[in-house]
Copies of this chain bind each other. A is one copy, B any other.
Amino acid sequence: MADMADITADALDDHFLAELGQQFRVDAVRATSHAGSGHATSSMSAADLMAVLLARYLRYDFDWPGHPGNDHLILSKGHASPLLYAAYKAAGAVTDEELLSFRELGSRLEGHPTPRLPWVDVATGSLGQGLPVGVGVALSGRRLDPMPYRVWVISGDSEMAEGSVWEAMEHAGYEGLANLTLIVDVNRLGQRGPTRHEWDLDAYARRIRAFGWHTVECDGHDPASIDAAYSEALSVSDRPTAVLARTMKGRGVAAVQDREGMHGKPVPDAEEAVGELGGVRDLRVEVRRPGAATAPRVPHGVEADLPRYEAGEQVATRNAYGQALAAVGRDRRDIVALDGEVSDSTRSEYFAKEHPDRFFECYIAEQELVATAVGMQVRGWTPFVSTFAAFLTRAHDFLRMAAVSRAGLSVAGSHAGVSIGEDGPSQMGLEDLAMFRAIHGSTVLYPCDGNATARLVAEMADGEGLRYLRTSRGKSPVIYDPAERFPVGGSKLLRSSEEDRLTVVAAGVTVHEALAAADRLAGEGIPVRVIDLYSVKPVDAAALREAAERTGCLLTVEDHHPEGGLGDAVLDAFTDGRPAPRLIRLAVENMPGSATPEEQLREAGIDAEAIAAAVRRHVAASGAAAA
């Protein structure tokens, strides 16, 4: 079979390739016109680039998408999905009937590619993400599972303006990723008009070469020129190559070719266009298959020998994160860690020291940090990403898209909240819970002590989707036994009695403030219940409902802005029409400055005294109402 494929591919002459490119154009015109929307012209510019790639260079077994030797093709300009689907059709992977289901409800052929299609590694459509993720895939093939697969990224020219592309350029150039080829479809026109550099290929080449890449320019509508460029890319052994292809948007159809105002829509007259392109074809390509390859073994579910902290010991949860990750990494050889040049702060340095071969320094480039991890999980690795919680906002769009990609990814954000102290608001994660909660399918965890943190790190290693762990800078006393379990979706009841007047719901640093407040209030004859809601998403609905029923009022206290955090999260247990409890919310409503951690908690009104005062007010008001 492999032999035949080789013969077939070798026999494909330039005329066949030109015809194949026309077929892709025709199919893009047909799919978009049938759908009544979609990006015909952006597909047409890159059709010849795709034809040469599919027929002569890509090594891929469409019958076995999980083949560890498969090349990776990432269409960064995801809006050109009709081109990708046309290529799948030529490869025999989708039928013409499915092609024409493009953009219909239930179809796998979405407006922008997603991994609902087994041959799509990651969702694209937010521009400037394909190359960053491709770097992670290519890096895996160099430093984790050395294999001869190649990574091909097809990007548009407009998206070269995204900073994330240059983070990726730097990363790939620095790592010398010769197994990575970027193909830039320079069709001159963005969505609303010409790009900055239009057809000045050298403007792109200068920039890319400066970042340590090889570049080659070609005529993106001449199969021989494209072939020569791809061949040159294969011949470069010490660095990645960018193929800069001069193309025309809407190539081949006079009504739209190289014309403004034709972005993101079907051609005006599909029948005429198909005729102009030489009619419907049904060419097939026998895509070359990769050689035999073995997937790296990934031992999941191993019981790690986690660090254990003694009750009363002062431990920063960021420390516990680093120590637990290093421990989990001992048995789980699939775990990799990536950090944004702050591993001494996030404590991923513990992992780095123990497992240097599986630690990746991504420097201060948070988009590329997350993208590299997404690329690695494409290859079956289990990545843990860490940086300051505040700086994860830099990667928000990549995190959002990771969810669309159905990626499995663990993220740890350190230095959460005002409790970091003197550094001030630029370094404080005060929006991270809101950001991560709103991402589809996410899990959000916020432990308050070392043992809880260690257990949750182990949980994350076996989890699905996006898992976020929020850690704190300062030390706090260990309150849990090392043997205690912390299931996702659980909580801990730390204080309770039959006479509780209210329930304080806390997480992370505020758990300790809540306990102090409860002890103080108990001394005043005001018993209160305290819940450690370490699982912020999903929340422990049963525990919250029971607390609401028993005490009538939930007081939430969090080191986060009032919106989208813990205070909003508890409501997840009460949005089905059942009676809701009274609610009191303590959160960071001020704009912090510099101050000690203790002063910060006091200024924000989330320390033990603020909690106690709010409880006293509530009790007084209830008493007054009762009287």
How does the 8 Å CB contact mask read for A63-90 relative to B, with 1 for contact and 0 for none? 0000000000000001000000000000
Asked if A231 is an interface residue, CB under 8 A from chain B, the answer is no
Asked if A541 is an interface residue, CB under 8 A from chain B, the answer is no
Known: A404-B426, A564-B563, A564-B568. A105 touches B192 (CB 8 A): no
Known: A104-B594, A161-B170, A583-B575. A191 touches B438 (CB 8 A): no
Q: How far is the CA of A128 from the CA of B364 in the complex (A)?
A: 9
- Across the interface, A426 reaches (CB within 8 A) one of B106, B126, B438, B621, namely B126
Assess whether A364 is in contact with B105, with CB atoms less than 8 Å apart: no
Which residue in chain B gives the minimum CB-CB distance to A575?
Answer: B585
Which residue in chain B gives the minimum CB-CB distance to A617?
Answer: B577
Tell me which residues across on chain B come within 8 A of A281, comparing CB atoms.
none
How does the 8 Å CB contact mask read for A137-178 relative to B, with 1 for contact and 0 for none? 000000000000000000000110111111100100010000
Tell me which residues across on chain B come within 8 A of A572, comparing CB atoms.
562-563
Which residue in chain B gives the minimum CB-CB distance to A169?
Answer: B166
Which residue in chain B gives the minimum CB-CB distance to A595?
Answer: B105
Asked if A92 is an interface residue, CB under 8 A from chain B, the answer is no
Tell me which residues across on chain B come within 8 A of A167, comparing CB atoms.
161-163, 166
Tell me which residues across on chain B come within 8 A of A577, comparing CB atoms.
553, 582-584, 617-618, 621
How does the 8 Å CB contact mask read for A569-598 relative to B, with 1 for contact and 0 for none? 101101111111111110000010111100
Tell me which residues across on chain B come within 8 A of A181, comparing CB atoms.
none
Asked if A209 is an interface residue, CB under 8 A from chain B, the answer is yes
- Across the interface, A162 reaches (CB within 8 A) one of B38, B163, B393, B595, namely B163
Size of the chain A interface, CB-CB below 8 angstroms: 114
Q: How far is the CA of A40 from the CA of B167 in the complex (A)?
A: 28
Known: A192-B343, A571-B568. A435 touches B431 (CB 8 A): yes
Tell me which residues across on chain B come within 8 A of A603, comparing CB atoms.
105
Which residue in chain B gives the minimum CB-CB distance to A429?
Answer: B400
How does the 8 Å CB contact mask read for A96-119 relative to B, with 1 for contact and 0 for none? 000000111111011110101000
Assess whether B364 is in contact with A438, with CB atoms less than 8 Å apart: no
Which residue in chain B gives the minimum CB-CB distance to A349?
Answer: B192
Q: Which 5 A-B pairs have the closest CB atoms?
A: A163-B163, A125-B426, A564-B564, A434-B438, A166-B166
Which A residues are closer than 8 A to B by beta carbons? 35, 37-38, 78, 102-107, 109-112, 114, 116, 123-128, 158-159, 161-167, 170, 174, 190-192, 195-196, 206-207, 209-211, 341-345, 349, 363-365, 367-368, 390-391, 393-394, 396-397, 400-401, 403-404, 421-427, 430-431, 434-435, 437-441, 537, 553, 561-565, 567-569, 571-572, 574-585, 591, 593-596, 599, 603, 617-618, 621
